Amino acid sequence: MRHLLRRLAGVVLACSIVLPMAAQTQTNGIYADFTTSLGNFTCQLSYSNSAKAVANFIGLATGARPWLDLTTGVVRTNAFYDGLIFHRVIAGFVIQGGSPNGQGTDDPGYAFPDQFSPLLTFGAPWTLAMANSGPDSNGSQFFVTVAPFTSGNNTYVIFGRVVSGTNVVAAINNVKTDSSDKPLTNVVIQQVAIRRIGDAAQAFDINAQSLPLVTNLPLSIVQGSNQVSLGFSNQINADNRYYSSTNLTAWTSHSLGIEIATPTSNTVQVATDTPQKFFRFAQVQYPSTTLAPKDVLGRTMKMVFAPPNPGTNTVVFDMNGKGTYNFPGVNSGTVTSYTWVQQPYNHGRLYPIEYSGVNEMTLIFTFASLTNGTFTGTVYATPNFSVSGTFKLTGP
How far is it, in rounded angstroms, from Cα 306 to Cα 309?
A: 6
The reported pLDDT for the residue numbered 13 is 36
The reported pLDDT for the residue numbered 25 is 55
How far is it, in rounded angstroms, from Cα 312 to Cα 329?
A: 9
Between β-strands 331-343 and 227-231, what pairing exists: parallel, antiparallel or unpaired? unpaired
Q: What is the pLDDT of residues 181-238, one digit of tens each?
A: 999 999 999 999 999 999 999 999 999 999 999 999 999 999 988 899 999 999 999 9
How far is it, in rounded angstroms, from Cα 258 to Cα 284?
A: 9
C-alpha 254 chain-centroid distance: 18
pTM for the model stands at: 0.90
Q: Read out DSSP for 41-99? A: EEEEE-TTT-HHHHHHHHHHHHT-S-EE-TTT--EE-S-SSTT-BEEEEETTTEEEE--
How far is it, in rounded angstroms, from Cα 197 to Cα 214?
A: 29
Kindly give the parts of the chain with pLDDT less than 50. Answer: 1-24
The reported pLDDT for the residue numbered 150 is 96
Kind and range of the H or E run holding 304: strand 300-305
Residues 6+ apart with CB under 8 A from 264: none
How far is it, in rounded angstroms, from Cα 101 to Cα 195?
A: 27
Quick one: which of 215, 6, 250 has its CA closest to 130? 6
Quick one: which of 348, 343, 394 has its CA closest to 371? 394
Q: What is the pLDDT of residues 129-142, one digit of tens each?
A: 999 999 999 999 99
